[in-house]
Structure 1
């Protein structure tokens, strides 16, 4: 590697690190802001509201949380396709009819999650 290439790689690595640090800071601030908005909605009993040029909606969803041991017992022949209880892979297998809802009985619990959408009007 010549000196010019080394300088470019050094700059690239430095910039990558800077951006990753910035990303962590932004994600942390987003999480804090999200929590403040969610707390406001909870305190006011709201699932949606408008403020200025923005509309805010909280959408409740149910998500499956799979128990890997139960899933392995229910699907031993297909475990190699999953190898970890990945909800998106399992959903894909359901859509492709590799497995059925009956195959999954008792392998998961439902978890309530709230998605926050903030859109500009």
Structure 2
């Protein structure tokens, strides 16, 4: 069991290092795109594409006040954009009631494919 725990620990450390390096590389690619004012380019056999998205970040207090039935809050327990979108889609909550309960946050997705 010692070997398994040791290997697990090593892999978790390696994962942290890999995630940090990925973040740094991602930031460099996005900076390059911003400097060149482009959202798509080719680098050797790779195609790079930046995709902008807007995500809703809900304010829990405002959301709670906007819900028609406090029992719905128990279903959510905290604001989960996917669950909220599902309740809107089902017609349980009207989109208009949620209008001032969230802020839109622009995010950039990085997509790298091999051509």
**What is the match of residue 52 of structure 2?**
60
Structure whose alpha-carbon radius of gyration is higher: 1
Q: Which moved more, 1:60-69 or 1:73-82?
A: 73-82
TM-score of the aligned structures, taking structure 2 as reference length = 0.91
For each residue in 1:52-101, what CA deviation from the matched residue of structure 2 results, as whole angstroms up to 9, or x when unmatched?
Answer: 10000000111101001000111223111111112122222223333221
- CA apart distance, 1:51: 1.3
Q: Which runs of 5+ in 2 are unaligned?
A: none
Residue-pair matches, total = 113
2 CA distance for matches of 1:23 and 1:95?
37
Residue of structure 1 in register with 2:105 after alignment: 111
Q: CA deviation at 1:18?
A: 0.9
Match of residue 19, structure 1, among 8, 11, 20: 11
Q: 1:25 to 1:74 in 2, by over 3 A?
A: same
What's the CA shift for 1:28?
0.3
**Which range is displaced more, 66-75 or 32-41?**
66-75
Q: Secondary structure at the match of 2:24?
A: helix
Partner secondary structure for residue 78 of structure 1: helix
4+ residue runs over 6 A deviation: none
Q: How does 1:11-90 map to 2 (within 5 A)?
A: 11-75=3-67, 76-90=70-84
* Length-normalised TM-score, structure 1: 0.87
